[in-house]
């Protein structure tokens, strides 16, 4: 297989993964009464890019070997944002300062999940 073929397969796999993650996010029981965002007409997901320092501890030191590089992070964010937008959600812009003000009867929420 050529490098281009591998790259195309890689992109296709990323797209499928982001679709799966978006479906999962909209199916989670995030609201009272065990309601999912998908099942509630007045709720939605806002995807806000946020840098984080994913690390492991080794002794008294932090190690950041599992941190995804910026270019790869941007690719994955854009794919996930496209999936969220398809479902009526909203998303910020990668690499820019983000500010959000919410007015919510049941939140706001911030959930961090590992997929």
pLDDT in tens, 67-96: 778 888 889 989 999 998 898 888 888 887
pTM of the model: 0.68
Who's near 47: CB < 8 A, 6+ residues apart? Answer: 77, 80, 81, 84, 89, 90, 91, 92
Please say if the pLDDT value at position 4 is more than 50: no
Averaged pLDDT, 48-76: 80
């Amino acid at each position: 297989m050529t490098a281009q073929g591998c790259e195309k397969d890689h992109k296709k796999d990323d797209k499928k993964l982001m679709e799966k993650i978006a479906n999962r996010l909209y199916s989670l029981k995030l609201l009272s009464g065990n309601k999912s965002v998908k099942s509630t007409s007045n709720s939605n997901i806002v995807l806000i890019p946020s840098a984080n320092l994913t690390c492991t501890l080794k002794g008294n030191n932090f190690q950041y070997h599992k941190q995804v590089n910026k270019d790869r992070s941007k690719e994955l964010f854009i794919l996930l944002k496209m999936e969220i937008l398809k479902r009526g959600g909203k998303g910020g812009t990668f690499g820019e300062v983000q500010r959000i003000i919410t007015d919510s009867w049941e939140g706001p929420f911030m959930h961090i999940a590992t997929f």
